[in-house]
A and B are shown apart, each in its own frame.
Chain A
Amino acid sequence: MLNQMLLSSVVEWSRLQFALTAIFHWFFVPLTLGLSFIIAIMETIYVKTGNEFWKKVVKFWMTIFGINFAIGVATGLILEFEFGLNWSNYSWFVGDIFGAPLAIEGIFAFFMESTFIAIMFFGWNKIGRKTHLTASWLTAFGANISALWILVANGWMQNPVGMKFNPATARNEMFNFWDVLFNPSAIAKFLHTITSAYVLSAIVVVGVSCWFLLKGREKIFAKKSIIVASVFGLLSSAALIITGDTSANNIATTQPMKLAAMEGLYKGKEGAGLSVIGLLTPGKEAGDKRDAFVFNIEIPKLLSIMGYRKVNAFVPGVEDLINGGFQYTDSEGKTVAALSVEEKIRRGKEAIASLAKYQKAKKEGDNIAAEGAESDLMKNMKYYGYGYLNSPSSVIPNVPLCYYSFRIMVGLGFLFILVFILTLWVAMKPAGPMPKWILRLSILSVPLVYIASQAGWIVAEMGRQPWTIQDLLPTVAAVSRIDASSVMITFFLFFVLFSILLIAELKILFGQIKKGPGIASNNQPSK
């Protein structure tokens, strides 16, 4: 019992620390991904028109980009420190799967970003306009390609493919790099993540510009920035909806429990509707007789369409996924009956026992017994992680957290579309008073877009609990045998460090925004 409590404590503190670090890291990444493109678009206008006004616009947003980049740079490395100390079983088990994508990411991050960012910032008046513009576009592409490799690694954790487990080393070995790279989960995650980052960046540009309008300063600068950002934001929002749909379709196949949790769907049904807004029954548990919702407004059939591209497709709920028995199409296209979690646990425990037998046989030099154990292990390998679970209910993520986070993300996403339309209308108006409520709503959208972005990650990461690697390794088996108190100390250490960095960034950022681009009123863009 004591061992259980201590272990749980290490797992929980390690998860909490990882969440804190990842959330902090994600404060900076999306603005880098999207603002770099907005700057490149603005600079393209400058090069095309030759108007110095646009150069000043570009320089202002470049300063904001630079501050964000500088404070955020290397914060992601702390996650790697945590892998090495807190998650050593996981790090070892993952093997070389992460090695290739992260090495490529490192090369891109270091060479592409650092080279082209330097040209972006130091190259004014030293190199030609077109060369500078090329550097700006390459900075944007470089940052986004860096993100690709990280998200390929994350996608593999959500849907492990392209590898084989080696029982002799207890590591997964990559046998098909292209399967890992073009993993549907990785592609869906990458596209959805970067498009969400573009929306975030567009909202930041719109929000800051609206602040200038509200203060009656830098009106032309603000309006031109809004036009570029809101058009960019609208296009990105359209792409975000499409990539969101692709993600839902992918999750239905690879992580059906996550989809059920996101929808508060306990009992599966054919022609399932998508919950627009609802109130989950407090304390509801799988298997009890209570309704899942106190109230629920849904769009009929939409969940079946999104999940399986069929109007009347059966979408399994939490209870179906635990009890099994329903028919589904597996990865090879065959229609099969789903196993219960209890059966998966049984097979997972057999897999773990086979691994132990393999090791024992190898040490005793009994190759025949080792081969037999390896064969048994491979038969049950896809359920390996279930062997660490003692109760079928362990596979249920936090349903209310997933359900409400998903609605916060989607609801705010639609609000931002409205913000882009309204601000574009305001910016395109030739003259006349600007509705202050629109300006205030846009400014308020800046913190809201960060909440939406973080909510998306909460859905993605909390929705896959209890797994660090889907079906293969739960958090409880991934964690190191270390003292929980050491994780607690570093958690608070990070909390202080991150808070100082965040305050520093906000102080410098607000200082620069207040200073403004300093564009004289008579220096207007050409028509």
Chain B
Amino acid sequence: MNVLKRVFLFYYEGFKSMTVGKTLWMIIIIKLVIMFLVLKPFFFPNYLKTNFDTDEERIDHVIKELTKPVISD
């Protein structure tokens, strides 16, 4: 039996024989789906990547932000 098949069977049988682990994997999958398919695209777009097309534009924006007076208190 080749190595890849043995590795596959190792994981396959491991997952199959799980008890509480199955519930945990469900939680992990639901969590990752919420995080990457809902939160990230709809609620947490990367501000600089989505609002500017090039690094030059991003640099200009950040420098503008960093060099204009900001009131802290």
| B47–A477 CB distance below 8 A | no
Select the residue from B45, B46, B48, B63 with max chain A CB neighbours within 10 A.
Answer: B63
| B66–A474 CB distance below 8 A | no
Say which residue of B24, B40, B73 sits within 8 Å of A508 (CB atoms): B24
Q: Is B71's CB within 8 Å of the partner chain A?
A: yes
Tell me, in angstroms, the Cα distance from A4 to B73 when the chains sit together.
8
Q: Which residues of A contact B62 (CB under 8 A)?
A: 88-89, 92-93, 170
Tell me, in angstroms, the Cα distance from A73 to B32 when the chains sit together.
9
| A84–B24 CB distance below 8 A | no
| A121–B71 CB distance below 8 A | no
Say which residue of A66, A93, A477, A489 sits within 8 Å of B21 (CB atoms): A66
- Distance from A466 Cβ to chain B, minimum over Cβ atoms (Å): 7
| B72–A352 CB distance below 8 A | no
| A508–B20 CB distance below 8 A | yes
Q: Is A340's CB within 8 Å of the partner chain B?
A: no
Chain A 354-392, CB within 8 Å of chain B: the 1/0 string? Answer: 011001000000000000000000000000000011110
Known: A66-B24, A121-B14, A391-B73. A477 touches B44 (CB 8 A): no
| B35–A122 CB distance below 8 A | no
Tell me, in angstroms, the Cα distance from A84 to B41 when the chains sit together.
12
A-B contact count (CB 8 A): 122
Say which residue of A78, A169, A359, A394 sits within 8 Å of B72 (CB atoms): A394
Q: How many residues of A contact B (CB 8 A)?
A: 57
Query: Which residue of chain B lies nearest to A507 when distances are taken between CB atoms in the complex?
Result: B23
B34-69 with Cβ < 8 A to chain A = 34-35, 39-40, 43-49, 55, 58-59, 62-63, 65-67
Q: How many residues of B contact A (CB 8 A)?
A: 38
| B67–A85 CB distance below 8 A | no
Query: Which residue of chain B lies nearest to A490 when distances are taken between CB atoms in the complex?
Result: B43
Q: Is A67's CB within 8 Å of the partner chain B?
A: yes
| B66–A170 CB distance below 8 A | yes
Q: Which residues of A contact B55 (CB under 8 A)?
A: 169
Tell me, in angstroms, the Cα distance from A92 to B52 when the chains sit together.
13
| A504–B13 CB distance below 8 A | no
Tell me, in angstroms, the Cα distance from A3 to B59 when the chains sit together.
23
A442-467 with Cβ < 8 A to chain B = 466
Select the residue from A7, A170, A489 with max chain B CB neighbours within 10 A.
Answer: A170
Known: A85-B46, A122-B11, A390-B73. A67 touches B39 (CB 8 A): no
| A122–B72 CB distance below 8 A | no
Q: Which residues of B contact A391 (CB under 8 A)?
A: 72-73
Q: Is A77's CB within 8 Å of the partner chain B?
A: yes
| A82–B44 CB distance below 8 A | yes
Chain A 88-125, CB within 8 Å of chain B: the 1/0 string? Answer: 11011100000000000000000000000010011100
Q: Is A81's CB within 8 Å of the partner chain B?
A: yes
Q: Which residues of B contact A476 (CB under 8 A)?
A: 70-72
Tell me, in angstroms, the Cα distance from A168 to B62 when the chains sit together.
11
Tell me, in angstroms, the Cα distance from A81 to B50 when the chains sit together.
13
Q: Which residues of A contact B66 (CB under 8 A)?
A: 89, 93, 170, 352, 355, 477
Known: A170-B59, A388-B70, A493-B43. A121 touches B65 (CB 8 A): no
Q: Which residues of B contact A84 (CB under 8 A)?
A: 44-49
Known: A71-B27, A92-B62, A169-B59. A356 touches B67 (CB 8 A): yes
Tell me, in angstroms, the Cα distance from A357 to B45 when the chains sit together.
32
Say which residue of A73, A78, A85, A126 sits within 8 Å of B28 (CB atoms): A73
Say which residue of A67, A77, A88, A356 sits within 8 Å of B48 (CB atoms): A88
Tell me, in angstroms, the Cα distance from A504 to B24 when the chains sit together.
9
Q: Which residues of A contact B43 (CB under 8 A)?
A: 486, 489-490, 493
| A122–B10 CB distance below 8 A | yes
| A78–B39 CB distance below 8 A | yes
Q: Is A481's CB within 8 Å of the partner chain B?
A: yes
Say which residue of A121, A393, A501 sits within 8 Å of B27 (CB atoms): A501
Tell me, in angstroms, the Cα distance from A390 to B55 when the chains sit together.
31
| B72–A390 CB distance below 8 A | yes
Tell me, in angstroms, the Cα distance from A91 to B67 when the chains sit together.
16
Tell me, in angstroms, the Cα distance from A67 to B18 when the chains sit together.
12
Query: Which residue of chain A lies nearest to B52 when distances are taken between CB atoms in the complex?
Result: A88
Q: Is A74's CB within 8 Å of the partner chain B?
A: yes
Known: A74-B32, A92-B62, A355-B66. A389 touches B14 (CB 8 A): no
What is the interface of chain A, defined by CB distance below 8 A to chain B? 3-4, 7, 63, 66-67, 70-71, 73-74, 77-78, 81-82, 84-86, 88-89, 91-93, 118, 121-123, 126, 168-170, 352-353, 355-356, 359, 388-391, 393-394, 466, 474, 476-477, 480-482, 486, 489-490, 493, 497, 501, 504, 508, 512
Between-chain CB contacts (< 8 Å), 19 pairs: A67-B24, A71-B27, A81-B35, A81-B39, A82-B44, A84-B46, A88-B48, A89-B62, A89-B66, A92-B48, A122-B14, A389-B72, A389-B73, A390-B72, A390-B73, A391-B72, A393-B73, A489-B43, A508-B23
A-B pairs, 9 with minimum CB distance = A122-B14, A81-B44, A70-B24, A84-B46, A88-B47, A356-B67, A476-B72, A92-B62, A480-B47
